[in-house]
Structure 1
């Protein structure tokens, strides 16, 4: 039998926990109004989000190319944009009305924030689907941030993430997106969670994804592929300089804006790796996986340059250099077979492909101490002015047909025809996996001082 003092103790604990919870508005259009927002309870993110949990094994290899979330990507963030800040319930000072003020770079910048959740966004349509959930085109309600309020919302189910042992990768994706700012890399605006789901809010790019345009055109000319590859090399070099390996480079994870520039997205398999370290994870999409990954020899940034080589080959020929319907035979071809170079390609691009698709990573182009600069200096990129490219002054010749900021004509109808519903999901029994997930990007128009 429970004593009176025990009852009082239990009651005080329960009240303390309930006071920390907030219920999203009942007007939510997302079907999640029954979920609590735990963002105020979680502590700040760890500084090394890439460290693997001792209780979680590495994720399985992704063999199906349809897993990819296709949709979110950024508009170019100007060089004057303020640096990102992680905003969590225990950071900054919280006022009684739920809004807070967070000090920026050594107290110079202050950003007012309010609670953010699914109810703040109206779903317009589906623009992608993956193993853990969907990507929606959404409009931010009561928008006053100086933009059109159109975003891509990536929604992932916690229960599925935990079952597939991808917890560390989902946390790493969120953390990596808060650390990178580049003209050809997706930019995160917000992240938050409910009891059952994780949410990433990113700028929406309405030009569709590279795979969509490659499928339509069959193959790209060398001039067209050169600009896309150069922008991709610039983005991947930026990641590598910050100790980040993407590990899932493929056309489905590269978007195109209305001006024809490419944008790298989907960091769900990315990882932070020290220069001297190697990862033994068997992850990625088989057609683009480097031989050292398939052989479980350990890999680092060199694996990304192999994937860039596969991408370039596919852009120029319409198919990957190593293909087979049987997965084991496909892996054998990647490990053992020599690449066949079409004679209609120039000798310069032959040279670049041979350098990128070296099966031994120590001999691969980009392996040296100069990294991506070694690739930028290759003779095939002789016509590229890298300074102009990295300020988006080089204009691609092809521009996708776009009609308005919320245009989805360049996204596959297999997604856009889906009912635009963020359906309810089961709540995992343990909630400690996703601490520190909440994030708000600072407003670039706010003045500092």
Structure 2
């Protein structure tokens, strides 16, 4: 037997534990793929799986370099995370991290290029989601580039709604990514638990707002996600979301610009306004200095109604003052010039331009965003057919329809209509990206700057994982299971019965 696989098998067997899960966290969900593993028998299985077929040499954007500065250093918004410190202690003490420093506790899911495991950094109480990929298998299926793309993208990310890559390492056989572990499962599983299997409108608004901010950040970095679906939106322990799975993403060039109104009295958010001048802006960290930032007078004043007798006299003065205030410039960082010919995504979420092979760009993310919102609100996707072939025909040729039940507000349906326009050049956000979607009436009342302070619709119940040797009940109860693994295939390990 291969010495490394033998050692890895021993590591997994040694790390087998009895795991006790609370009722509200029965599903410890993957950080990759659409397969879900549950601690209970009522497993909700999704039939949606991602597909990828590369183009024959015409996918010009796939080989372009990432436009952002990629670094594996500590992420600023995670600078106080104890997991960074724990990893750094071991790295300082032993020089490097490897598979031997982790205990694999449970397989969370299996994707197309690897399996993901709940793992613990030995000697600590720090838990991670570790994606393990068999390099020989990837090479044989010509998917090494996809694995490399995902790693490079994860190294670039530093955003509260995107995963943190704590470290990565390779052995002779395996490539490993150590990322955040989300104990709340994914939105597909959470949706299945809702009455009617759909979210109330306010809950859906919360989730799609956070996903929108994540997509906006990705597009600013020149990354087109291409695989948005509820299975890939994980729920953190605080109830906020995190996108996962970037092996289908497209990296391309992006040129951030500021749209400044040339007329101080013109509202830049008003539809039909053409009084814009475009100014390139540098967003690299080294360039964010006063000399590089366009100055603005102030925020447009907000005048409240007054009960004073002089209200009529002051009304004209206030209107004159408002016209003298220059509106804030609008940042647009949409990779509109990206073009790919690859057949990429999930059948129910594929944009028409991908199916027709016309070449696609960032607008495919806004199509999938519309399908995503539709599924959260109605409990199903709008173009699903009896099979994959029928689904693709429906996406291209069937008009958008809304079911009579549940009842969804006009603003939500209007937003979905704008996103699910089959011609990408007419689709909402085609040019201005997330900025345009944020201004839609559906998101009225959303405080984008303080969205992390908003109360999530659902807070996952805590997951308890006992330490090795702790006294745990061996009775067969729905809240306890004993997990063992064996390396019976070349990618991951399947749980043994008994």
> TM-score band (shorter)?
0.5 to 0.7
> 2:343 aligns to what SS in structure 1?
coil
The answer to whether the aligner puts 1:383 opposite 2:383 as a matched pair is no
Return the match for 1:350 from 396, 413, 420: 413
User: Secondary structure of the equivalent of 2:97?
Assistant: coil
Counterpart among 28, 53, 65 of residue 48 in structure 2: 65
1:377–1:67 distance in 2 versus 1, CA, 3 Å = closer
Cα 1:173/1:405, change in 2 over 3 Å: farther
Residue in 1 aligned with 2:177?
200
- How many residues are matched? 329
* 8 Å Cα contact 1:24/1:117 also seen in 2: no
| Alpha-carbon distance in structure 1 between the residues aligned to 2:241 and 2:185 | 10
Aligned with residue 116 of structure 1, among 71, 85, 97? 97
Q: Is the 8 A contact 2:12 2:485 kept in 1?
A: no
Distance of 1:196 and 1:300 partners within structure 2: 35
Q: Compare CA radii of gyration and give the structure with the larger one.
A: 2
Superposition deviation, residue 122 in structure 1: 0.4
The partner residue of 1:135 within 116, 120, 128 is 116
- Cα distance in 1 for partners of 2:231, 2:409 equals 26
Residue 466 of structure 2 is aligned to residue 401 of structure 1 = no
Equivalence map 1:123-162=2 (5 Å):
123-143=104-124, 148-162=125-139
Tell me, what secondary structure is at the counterpart of 2:108?
A: strand
| 1:25–1:119 CA contact under 8 A, matched in 2 | no
Task: Indicate whether 1:364 and 2:423 are aligned.
Answer: no
CA distance in 1, matches of 2:91, 2:162: 30
Contact 2:184 2:234 in 1 (8 A): yes
Q: 1:197 & 1:350 partners in 2: Cα distance?
A: 46
Q: Is the contact made by 1:154 and 1:201 (CA closer than 8 Å) also made in structure 2?
A: yes
Q: How much has 1:126 moved relative to structure 2?
A: 1.2
- The answer for the alignment partner of 1:252 in structure 2 is 231
Contact 2:137 2:490 in 1 (8 A): no
Alignment of 1:272-287 (within 5 A): 272-274=251-253, 275=335, 276-287=337-348
In the alignment, does 2:242 pair up with 1:181?
no
RMSD of Structure 2 on Structure 1 (CA):
3.2
Please give the alpha-carbon distance, in whole angstroms, between the structure 1 residues aligned to 2:198 and 2:390.
25
**Residue equivalent to 1:36:** none
SS at match of 2:428: coil
Distance 1:371 1:213 in 2: 28
1:79 paired residue number: 77
Q: 1:211 to 1:418 in 2, by over 3 A?
A: farther
Secondary structure of the corresponding residue to residue 104 of structure 2: strand
Q: In structure 2, what is the Cα distance between the partners aligned to 1:304 and 1:406?
A: 41
Aligned twin of 1:270: 249
Evaluate the alpha carbon distance shift between residue 209 and residue 290 of structure 1 in structure 2; reply closer, same or farther with a 3 A threshold.
same
User: Could you tell me how far apart the structure 1 residues matched to 2:378 and 2:420 are?
Assistant: 15
The alpha-carbon deviation at position 31 of structure 1 amounts to: 6.3
Question: How far did residue 166 of structure 1 move?
Answer: 1.7
Cα distance, 1:117–1:364 mapped onto 2, change above 3 Å: same
The answer to whether the 8 Å contact 2:114/2:134 transfers is: yes
Q: Is the 8 A contact 1:206 1:406 kept in 2?
A: no
Taking the aligned partners of 1:388 and 1:338, their CA distance within structure 2 comes to 37
| Partner residue in 2 for 1:313 | 374
2:299 match: none
Structure 1, unmatched stretches of 5+, are 1-22, 33-62, 69-75, 83-97, 101-111, 408-412, 427-449
How far apart are residue 29 of structure 1 and its match? 4.2
Using the TM superposition, give the Cα deviation of residue 310 of structure 1 relative to its aligned residue in structure 2, in angstroms. 0.6
SS in 1 for 2:453: coil
Q: What is the CA distance between 1:257 and its match in structure 2? A: 1.3
Deviation at 1:314, TM superposition (A): 0.4
Question: Deviation of residue 130 (structure 1)?
Answer: 2.1
TM-score normalised to structure 1 length: 0.67
CA distance 1:361–1:128, change in 2 (3 Å): same
Q: For residues 285 and 24 of structure 1, do their structure 2 counterparts lie closer, same or farther at Cα, with a shift above 3 Å needed?
A: closer
**TM-fit CA distance, 1:115:** 1.7
- Check whether the contact 1:123–1:421 (CA below 8 A) recurs between aligned residues: no
Which SS does the other structure have where 2:193 is aligned?
Answer: helix
